């Protein structure tokens, strides 16, 4: 089907006045969906045009990629008959060719059809819905034309930045809104023209219920991490939000996992959705998974040994509670390593700063709860450590998917105690994967690239000065140079960040150390 749609889109590129087939609403009337304006001479690229020569294309990422993103049909972004201004944003963002999920989803989404898309973490799902959404938006119409829902505030920030980056030449206004921030600012922002709204369900429902956000003519309703958004926590809010949209809206759901709740929602609210399933296997091929049996009181010591032996570019360490996040961050700082932490009980401004700075390489290690398991894309992360082993396969899948992004290599290490052994077996069975016992030494070629300084960093939307506190030096981009057998119980060798003053411990709510650890409730204690 996608091949036929691509042929139609090529025809539309030649005939600017052609219209693509749009779905009918549930009552049989034609869909009243805002269509892109192709009347401009620069709206779509002409054959043989050398417009690409003027683009500011970033340095090519030459890292090897797995079949998760390379097993494509050989299509190019130009084959989708996208507006030239959108193509400029795509190429200037570093995109070269569409990934498998983008090849499947973009041409279908451009026709206005409902979509259920399932693909692995880190394979380009965000661009798979952002690109067609931006293509179909008419900047001359000062209405909200696309609503993108995500489950977490950090993912909302990231997705809105993708929209702004890809659509920077289109004149499209993107707004991000989440809980934990002032409602007044959102009200003032919506008084101005806004075309795309990205946010969490509760805040958007609040704005729509107050008649501040007018969704009555919004033709696109998109849910990223749809399995989470259709959990019992969010489903009532989602159902209410749909009532503010026109009946002929397009609904698109994207996720790595689709539980039964997604089918129930689809049956009630979607019209003959086009189903995409690229999950021939659940885990990313570039991620190598290991476990180590460790007594609870020895976990910090084991983590210290891993830090001293692994060659880490950036790492994310997961805990199962916010209390343990802060305690572990404090311990890591005391060991002499730079460390941030983030969890749901922190103030939103502090969470935003941690997320922004970690994405831009200010710090090497981040301790967090499951707050950052969903959709967060940080290319430089090559190691994920489950300090606390997750309770279910879904959480495990999303956690380890923070490394090995977009077909690249990554390492997942799980610290397992006696009580976790059954969870380990169950997760291996449910995901159809193998988590191996940690060897005496790990081949660096499984997770380390020769030139880590070439790993692309996200384009910051904050001033550079904001990400560097007084006395806080930017860290080198090379991975930590450690070697040896990590099963030997050695002391921390201090080869990285020897001065302990480099951590964010002095900033309350930012990381471990003075003023940081142990403020949460609960009896947890971490022992060396």
DSSP secondary structure of 305-374? HHHHHS--SEEEEE-SSHHHHHHHHHHHHHTT---EEE-TTS-HHHHHHHHHHHHTTS-SEEEE-GGG-S
Cα torsion for 460, 225, 66, 457, to the nearest 10°? 10
* Residue that wins the pLDDT comparison between 466 and 418: 418
pLDDT-derived band at 69 (thresholds 50, 70, 90) equals low
Tell me: pLDDT of 448 over 80.
no
- pLDDT value at residue 330: 94
pLDDT over threshold 80, residue 466: no
Radius of gyration in angstroms for the set of CA atoms belonging to the chain, rounded to a whole number: 23
Examine the pLDDT at 87 and tell me if it is beyond 90: yes
Q: Which domains does the chain have, with CATH numbers?
A: 82-277 (3.40.50.300), 287-502 (3.40.50.300)
Confirm if 505 and 511 have CB atoms less than 8 A apart.
Answer: yes
The predicted structure's pLDDT at residue 506? 31
pLDDT of residue 464: 40
What is the C-alpha to C-alpha distance for residues 507 and 513, in angstroms, rounded to an integer?
A: 9
Higher pLDDT, 524 or 87: 87
What's the pLDDT tens digit per position in 171-228?
999 999 998 788 899 999 999 999 999 999 999 999 999 999 999 999 999 999 898 8
| Total residue length of the chain | 528
Token digits of residue 178: 């989440």
Residue 202 in tokens: 């509760």
Backbone angles phi, psi at 251, to 5 degrees: -115, 125
Strand order in the sheet with 436-437: 340-342, 365-368, 314-318, 381-386, 410-416, 287-293, 436-437
Q: Who's near 86: CB < 8 A, 6+ residues apart?
A: 131, 134, 135, 166, 167, 169, 170
pLDDT in tens, 400-410: 888 876 667 88
Q: What is the mean pLDDT of the chain?
A: 78
Confidence check: pLDDT of 54 > 60? yes
pLDDT, residue 480, reads 47
Mean pLDDT of 113-140: 92
Give the Cα separation of 18 and 5 in Å (integer).
14
Backbone phi, psi, residue 164, to 5°: -65, -40
Quick one: pLDDT band at residue 123, thresholds 50, 70, 90? Answer: confident
Q: What is the pLDDT confidence band of residue 263, given thresholds at 50, 70 and 90?
A: confident
Q: Which residue has the higher pLDDT, 169 or 432?
A: 169
Distance CA 351, CA 347 (A): 6
């Amino acid at each position: 089907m996608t091949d036929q749609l691509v042929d139609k889109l090529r025809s539309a590129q030649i005939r600017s006045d052609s219209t693509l087939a749009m779905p009918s609403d549930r009552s049989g009337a034609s869909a009243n969906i805002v269509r892109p304006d192709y009347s401009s001479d620069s709206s779509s690229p002409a054959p043989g045009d050398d417009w690409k020569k003027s683009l500011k294309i970033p340095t090519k990422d030459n890292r090897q990629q797995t079949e998760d993103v390379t097993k494509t049909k050989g299509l190019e972004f130009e084959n989708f008959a996208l507006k030239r201004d959108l193509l400029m944003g795509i190429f200037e963002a570093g995109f070269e060719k569409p990934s498998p999920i983008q090849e499947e989803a973009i041409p279908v989404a451009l026709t206005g059809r409902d979509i259920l898309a399932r693909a692995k973490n880190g394979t380009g799902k965000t661009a798979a819905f952002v690109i067609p959404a931006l293509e179909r938006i008419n900047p001359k119409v000062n209405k909200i034309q696309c609503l993108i829902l995500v489950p977490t505030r950090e993912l909302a920030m990231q997705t809105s930045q993708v929209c702004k980056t890809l659509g920077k030449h289109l004149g499209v206004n993107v707004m991000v809104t989440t809980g934990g921030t002032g409602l007044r600012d959102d009200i003032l922002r919506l008084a101005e023209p806004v075309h795309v709204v990205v946010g969490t369900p509760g805040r958007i429902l609040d704005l729509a219920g107050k008649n501040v956000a007018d969704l009555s003519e919004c033709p696109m309703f998109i849910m990223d991490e749809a399995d989470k958004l259709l959990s019992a926590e969010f489903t009532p809010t989602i159902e209410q939000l749909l009532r503010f949209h026109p009946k002929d809206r397009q609904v698109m759901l994207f996720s790595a996992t689709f539980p039964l709740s997604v089918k129930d929602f689809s049956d009630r609210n979607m019209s003959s959705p086009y189903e995409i399933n690229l999950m021939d296997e659940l885990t990313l091929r570039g991620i190598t998974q290991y476990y180590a049996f460790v007594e609870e009181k020895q976990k910090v010591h084991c983590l210290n040994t891993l830090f001293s032996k692994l060659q880490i570019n950036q790492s994310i360490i997961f805990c199962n509670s916010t209390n343990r996040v802060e305690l572990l961050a404090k311990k890591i700082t005391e060991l002499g390593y730079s460390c941030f932490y983030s969890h749901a009980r922190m103030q939103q401004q502090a969470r935003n700063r941690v997320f922004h700075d970690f994405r831009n390489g200010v710090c090497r290690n981040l301790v967090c709860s499951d707050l950052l398991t969903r959709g967060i894309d940080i290319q430089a992360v090559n190691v994920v450590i489950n300090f606390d082993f997750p309770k279910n396969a879904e959480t495990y899948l999303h956690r380890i998917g923070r490394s090995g992004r977009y077909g690249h290599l990554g390492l997942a290490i799980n610290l397992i105690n006696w009580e976790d052994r059954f969870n380990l077996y169950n997760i291996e069975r449910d995901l159809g994967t193998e988590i191996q016992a940690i060897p005496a030494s790990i081949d660096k070629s499984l997770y380390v690239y020769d030139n880590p300084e070439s790993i692309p960093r996200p384009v910051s939307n904050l001033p550079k000065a904001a990400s560097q506190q007084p006395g806080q030096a930017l860290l080198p981009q090379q991975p930590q140079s450690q070697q040896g057998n990590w099963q030997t119980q050695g002391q921390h060798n201090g080869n990285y960040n020897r001065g302990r003053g480099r951590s964010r411990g002095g900033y309350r709510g930012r990381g471990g150390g003075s003023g940081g650890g142990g403020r949460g409730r609960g009896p947890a204690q971490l022992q060396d």
